[in-house]
Amino acid sequence: MSSSTEPSTRFASEWSRRHLLGLEYLEAREINLILDQADELHELTNGGRTKLSWLQGTVVANLFFEPSTRTRTSFSLAAKRLSADTVDFTSSGSSLSKGETFVDTARNIEALGVDQVVVRHRSPGAPGLLAKALKTTVLNAGDGTHEHPTQALLDISTIRRHRGTLEGQTVVLVGDIRHSRVARSNIWGLKKLGARVIVCGPATLIPPRIQDLGVEVSYSLDEVIGEADCINLLRIQFERQRGAFFPSIAEYAHLFGMNGQRIRKAKENTLILAPGPINRGVELTPDVADGKHSVILDQVRNGLLVRMACLYLLLKGGQS
Amino acid sequence: MSSSTEPSTRFASEWSRRHLLGLEYLEAREINLILDQADELHELTNGGRTKLSWLQGTVVANLFFEPSTRTRTSFSLAAKRLSADTVDFTSSGSSLSKGETFVDTARNIEALGVDQVVVRHRSPGAPGLLAKALKTTVLNAGDGTHEHPTQALLDISTIRRHRGTLEGQTVVLVGDIRHSRVARSNIWGLKKLGARVIVCGPATLIPPRIQDLGVEVSYSLDEVIGEADCINLLRIQFERQRGAFFPSIAEYAHLFGMNGQRIRKAKENTLILAPGPINRGVELTPDVADGKHSVILDQVRNGLLVRMACLYLLLKGGQS
Amino acid sequence: MSSSTEPSTRFASEWSRRHLLGLEYLEAREINLILDQADELHELTNGGRTKLSWLQGTVVANLFFEPSTRTRTSFSLAAKRLSADTVDFTSSGSSLSKGETFVDTARNIEALGVDQVVVRHRSPGAPGLLAKALKTTVLNAGDGTHEHPTQALLDISTIRRHRGTLEGQTVVLVGDIRHSRVARSNIWGLKKLGARVIVCGPATLIPPRIQDLGVEVSYSLDEVIGEADCINLLRIQFERQRGAFFPSIAEYAHLFGMNGQRIRKAKENTLILAPGPINRGVELTPDVADGKHSVILDQVRNGLLVRMACLYLLLKGGQS
């Protein structure tokens, strides 16, 4: 019981950063520190169900300039699970979307005694801008098509918890690679931890020169499904697409959707991941979503733990 | 002081259910357990004003797919008064109203470590669906025209606190019986506890065969007002009515509204109840709402206590 | 450490009011008590960063009938910093804007066990109405064009922290004096504490007979800037103006906006205040907002402390 209330410094003492802006900027060692801290929290909190006092007296501000229910709630509960107070700022954008006002808003929030700022913004780089302007820690909860590091960390944590390591795992990322900050963060994190990454989707949704990031490209899911240890079915983000990148939803589901028939071509123990909210019948069918390969709800559980780990390490790290 | 911080097991030990879906499904004994627990909480907390630690470390999620301020706030404060953390999910419906996605949403919330889900949904049976899908406890905060059990419990608790018993009380429910989940829950609860129930309203707002539930029917408030020990003036729910069920608001108020003149026909000690928010001048006039018969604010106070009792019993009941 | 957890009664014992409706109704002695309490809180909490338990077990309701992010968040964090629970009611108005229903809503909230009500409403006098109807304490967070006392208190606190006293300070309030509750509250507070107040703006935005409040009037900022110890650049509240009170924004900025050129005419140590959110380029230019005269972020910081002081004094004052 004492172990659950006394903050652990095992990983915090090795951590030095104040901000989590993207997995591109972390070393493999640092990514593993976060995953290790999340694993320790998993044990100490019975999978996130017990409250710790590690961030008692601190304040976490959720600054969401794009709508979000899941990520915002996950961060909010992660903060509460560590006994931090939380304060929410949501905005559909308009008056708060100008760069200058955005920083003004954040500076005001900082002046209210906030210790950590979790920010989602449609502009790539907005969290980095805040990190320069504020004395608080800054956590990127998704910035345009740039990065969504905690989503990738929870994906990777889920794989590591099932497989023990990322080393040598073949991970296929399926769908809209072009517009997906989740894909981008996954690629950075997976490659750094030694996984083989294949991106797979319609040619219109694969950005040119993506191979430069060290990934392989496939335009046919059926072609690569047999090699996959893990398949991450990205969400079709209708709201983020400006043009028509594929003929129809039915066509997409036919070629790139996961269903009971297609999954039979996969390895016996393939893991199916999907960042929510899933469009059932598009990226995957209900039998797969609820089937034996699916670790979708594990991802949600690990998301809480990974965010607890990040909040803790950023604020308390490097002090011992 | 120790009694107020140590959870009471007096009633919890006799409680076994994990869900509160409707009063139809409870035995009289169980309804009384909730009322007894609420009464005990009333004493321990000075009428709900002192904070207890009975649910410390647990998380209550408010899942409101229909707008609500009062019920949501009452549940939220009930949770906080027991030291639970709370998290709110509100939605005007659209994307979250499909059955499948609705359960997906709830499963995600459960995966975030939530212990109890309070749900309001326009579809009758939606909370029951969640109760089957989740491992959390589920509390129905209103499902379509089906039930709104905590509203009926607070109505009944208010009567019991004034009268000592429901046995032999004549309760008249006035208004839109057809569309009212409050009426339905009240009928189940009141009958089980031995009250005589008269439903009263325009013929168009009394559903056929309502007598099968053991109630009497009247189409004239003036005819039955003299027999009433308690009169519950249901809210005209304009938003829940699809057609025109009565000629005009003025006509309704004239025939079924309670006013200073009509109340003189009632017993000296008749109780006037009304689930908020009241439409002053429609269901009742201000002189009655604020007059000596009115127990409307007692209902609000008891609502907090009844919800504290339900949250506590569902999560901690049956464990000793 | 004990001093920070044990409530201080030094100022509370001299405080007797239950409501903060406006600075018009306070004596100089009382305004200074709030400022002194805020200063003590500043020391005890390391500028608002440490949590105290002074209001543990109490509930603060934020009742905002007009949109607000900053004031609401500041009050909310102030309550949390003192360990009170908070509950938010926001409404764009319509159904809740009728006087009677407004009081009904508040009475319902009171019945839920709320101890303090923070209220913003477009109707002048609405908080006073609540103060009469409720047993809770009531804090005015802005009522129409009447008063916004905590904003003025934080402005005055900021000046006092920089200057030690208000006595003899020349404070120029610039802008829309006619529609500004911030101006009105500032005038009351500043005059009571012995400051000299000059209001300055377009003639259309200076109400007739404003001199009766003991202030001087100027229609030219350039004329009075040299005398100012403090310049408070009020926000142009486009939403509160019914007509066209000045030709154009550019014209306003030219004549009454603060910029790098105009500020050179001011005293070396003039303080620039501005209640947020500032319209950069209108009331002041970025170089001034972020320049050496600006105490804008100090205002935000002091706002938290002043609101903590008010919440504490109103609820716990006069009891020893």
- Residue pLDDT, tens place only, C245-264: 777 888 899 999 999 999 99
pLDDT of residue C43: 95
The DSSP symbol for A281 reads T
Determine the residue type at A188. Answer: W
pLDDT at A4 over 60: no
- Measured between beta carbons, the chain A residues lying within 8 angstroms of C157 are none
Element (H, E) at A310: helix A296-316
Residue B11 neighbours by CB distance under 10 Å: 21
Choose among A87, A108, A115: nearest Cβ to C76.
A87
With CB atoms and an 8 Å threshold, state whether C100 touches B286: yes
**Tens-place pLDDT, residues A122-163:** 999 999 999 999 999 999 999 999 999 999 999 999 999 999
Residue C278 neighbours by CB distance under 10 Å: 21
**Tens-place pLDDT, residues A21-43:** 999 999 999 999 999 999 999 99
Best of A88, A104, A109 to disrupt the C interface (most C CBs within 10 Å) is A104
Of B118-132, C102-116, C293-307, the least confident: C102-116
**Tens-place pLDDT, residues A226-269:** 999 999 999 887 655 556 777 788 889 999 999 999 999 999 99
pLDDT of residue B246: 74
With CB atoms and an 8 Å threshold, state whether C113 touches B48: yes
Query: Is the four-CA dihedral B125, B186, B190, B300 of positive or negative sign?
Result: positive
The DSSP symbol for A278 reads P
Name the 3-class secondary structure at B150.
helix
Choose among A57, A101, A107: nearest Cβ to C50.
A57
Reported confidence tier of residue C319, pLDDT bands at 50, 70, 90: low
Mean pLDDT over C164-177 rounds to: 97
With CB atoms and an 8 Å threshold, state whether C111 touches B77: no
Best of A85, A89, A101, A114 to disrupt the C interface (most C CBs within 10 Å) is A85
Average predicted confidence (pLDDT) for chain A: 91
User: Which chain B residues touch C if contact means CB-CB below 8 Å?
Assistant: 47-51, 69-70, 73-74, 76-77, 80-81, 276-278, 280, 286, 297-298, 300-301, 303-304
Q: How many angstroms separate the Cα of A207 from the Cα of each of A177, A234, C146?
A: 7, 15, 58
pLDDT of residue B319: 63
Mean pLDDT over C14-30 rounds to: 98
The two structure tokens encoding residue C139: 């804090």
- Measured between beta carbons, the chain B residues lying within 8 angstroms of C113 are 47-49, 77, 81, 301, 304
* B137 touches B80 (CB < 8 A): no
CA A63 to centroid of chain Cα atoms: 17
H-only helix segments in chain C: 2-5, 28-44, 70-81, 99-111, 126-133, 149-163, 181-192, 221-224, 249-256, 286-289, 296-316
With CB atoms and an 8 Å threshold, state whether A104 touches C50: no
ipTM computed for the complex: 0.90
Q: In what order do the strands lie in the sheet with A230-233?
A: A216-218, A196-200, A170-174, A230-233, A271-273
Name the 3-class secondary structure at C86.
strand
Mean pLDDT over B117-133 rounds to: 96
Name the 3-class secondary structure at B308.
helix
Length of chain B: 320
pLDDT at A112 over 50: yes
The two structure tokens encoding residue C171: 């404070």
How far C61 CA lies from chain B's nearest CA (Å)? 10
With CB atoms and an 8 Å threshold, state whether C300 touches A113: no
CA B310 to centroid of chain Cα atoms: 12
With CB atoms and an 8 Å threshold, state whether C108 touches B276: yes
* B262 touches B290 (CB < 8 A): no
- Measured between beta carbons, the chain B residues lying within 8 angstroms of A48 are 112-113
User: Which chain C residues touch A if contact means CB-CB below 8 Å?
Assistant: 47-51, 69-70, 73-74, 76-77, 80-81, 276-278, 280, 286, 297, 300-301, 303-304
With CB atoms and an 8 Å threshold, state whether B104 touches A73: no
Q: How many angstroms separate the Cα of C211 from the Cα of each of C144, C208, C234, C282?
A: 21, 8, 19, 26
Where is pLDDT greater, at A18 or B247?
A18
Cis peptide before C149 (omega within 30 of 0): no
Which residue from A minimizes the CA distance to B102? A277
Q: How far apart are CA A125 and CA A120, in angstroms?
A: 10
Residue B83 neighbours by CB distance under 10 Å: 17
With CB atoms and an 8 Å threshold, state whether A48 touches B112: yes
pLDDT of residue B97: 42
Residue B192 neighbours by CB distance under 10 Å: 20
Biggest CA pair distance of chain B: 58
**Tens-place pLDDT, residues C40-66:** 999 999 888 889 999 999 999 999 988
Give which of B207, B209, B217, B231 is closest to B288, Cα–Cα.
B231
Q: At what angle do helices B28-44 and B181-192 cross, to 10 degrees?
A: 100
Q: Write the CATH number of the domain with boundaries B2-146+301-316.
A: 3.40.50.1370
Q: How far apart are CA C144 and CA C66, in angstroms?
A: 9
Architecture of the domain whose range is A2-146+302-316: 3-Layer(aba) Sandwich (3.40)
Q: How far apart are CA C202 and CA A234, in angstroms?
A: 57
Q: Write the CATH number of the domain with boundaries A149-300.
A: 3.40.50.1370
Per DSSP, the residues of A47-72 read TTTS---TTTT-EEEEEESS--SHHH
Which distant-in-sequence residues (6+ apart) come within 8 Å of B135 by Cβ?
B110
Average predicted confidence (pLDDT) for chain B: 91
pLDDT of residue C249: 85
Q: Which fold has domain C2-147+301-316?
A: Rossmann fold (3.40.50)
Best of C49, C75, C237 to disrupt the A interface (most A CBs within 10 Å) is C49
With CB atoms and an 8 Å threshold, state whether C109 touches B49: no
Of A187-196, C71-80, C91-100, C125-134, the least confident: C91-100
**Class level of CATH domain B149-298:** alpha beta
Choose among A89, A111, A115: nearest Cβ to C300.
A111
Best of A49, A287, A299 to disrupt the B interface (most B CBs within 10 Å) is A49
Reported confidence tier of residue C74, pLDDT bands at 50, 70, 90: very high
Q: How far apart are CA A272 and CA A296, in angstroms?
A: 7
Which residue from A minimizes the CA distance to C279? A101
With CB atoms and an 8 Å threshold, state whether B57 touches A50: yes
Which distant-in-sequence residues (6+ apart) come within 8 Å of C254 by Cβ?
none
Average predicted confidence (pLDDT) for chain C: 91
Best of C108, C115, C117, C136 to disrupt the B interface (most B CBs within 10 Å) is C108
pLDDT at B94 over 50: no
Per DSSP, the residues of C179-227 read T-HHHHHHHHHHHHTT-EEEEES-GGGS-TTGGGGT-EEES-HHHHGGG
pLDDT at C175 over 90: yes
Q: How far apart are CA C187 and CA C196, in angstroms?
A: 9
With CB atoms and an 8 Å threshold, state whether C113 touches B304: yes
**Tens-place pLDDT, residues C186-197:** 999 999 999 999
Q: How far apart are CA A166 and CA C290, in angstroms?
A: 47
Q: How many angstroms separate the Cα of B1 from the Cα of each of A44, A167, B211, B309?
A: 31, 57, 49, 19
Q: Which fold has domain C149-295?
A: Rossmann fold (3.40.50)
With CB atoms and an 8 Å threshold, state whether A112 touches C276: no
CA C314 to centroid of chain Cα atoms: 16
Opening angle at CA A280, ends A277 and A282, nearest 5: 105
CA B160 to centroid of chain Cα atoms: 14
With CB atoms and an 8 Å threshold, state whether C107 touches B76: no
Q: How far apart are CA C75 and CA B72, in angstroms?
A: 21
With CB atoms and an 8 Å threshold, state whether C100 touches B280: yes
B126 phi, psi to nearest 5 deg: -60, -45
Render the burial of C27-58: b for 16+ CB within 10 Å, e for the rest: eeebbbbbbbbbbbbbebbeebebbbebbeeb
With CB atoms and an 8 Å threshold, state whether B300 touches C112: yes
pLDDT of residue B243: 60
Cis peptide before C277 (omega within 30 of 0): yes
Query: Is the four-CA dihedral A139, A143, A149, A151 of positive or negative sign?
Result: positive
Q: Tell me the domain boundaries of chain B.
A: 2-146+301-316, 149-298
- Measured between beta carbons, the chain B residues lying within 8 angstroms of C107 are 297
pLDDT at C100 over 60: no
Chains that contact B by 3+ CB pairs under 8 Å? A, C
pLDDT of residue C238: 64
With CB atoms and an 8 Å threshold, state whether B89 touches A69: yes
Which residue from C minimizes the CA distance to B73? C87
Q: What is the pTM of this model?
A: 0.93
pLDDT at B1 over 50: no
Mean pLDDT over B245-261 rounds to: 89
Give which of B202, B176, B177 is closest to B187, Cα–Cα.
B177
pLDDT of residue C14: 96
Opening angle at CA C286, ends C281 and C287, nearest 5: 125
* A113 touches A150 (CB < 8 A): no
- Measured between beta carbons, the chain C residues lying within 8 angstroms of A87 are 73, 76-77, 80
Q: How far apart are CA C280 and CA C253, in angstroms?
A: 10
* B189 touches B156 (CB < 8 A): yes
**Tens-place pLDDT, residues B154-178:** 999 999 999 999 999 999 999 999 9
Per DSSP, the residues of A157-220 read HHHHHHHS--TT-EEEEES--TT-HHHHHHHHHHHHTT-EEEEES-GGGS-TTGGGGT-EEES-
How far C127 CA lies from chain B's nearest CA (Å)? 20
pLDDT of residue C117: 97
Give which of A167, A296, A163 is closest to A234, Cα–Cα.
A296
C2-147+301-316 and C149-295: same fold? yes
pLDDT of residue A243: 60
The two structure tokens encoding residue C169: 């300070």
Choose among B48, B80, B278: nearest Cβ to C85.
B80
pLDDT at C99 over 60: no
With CB atoms and an 8 Å threshold, state whether B113 touches A276: no
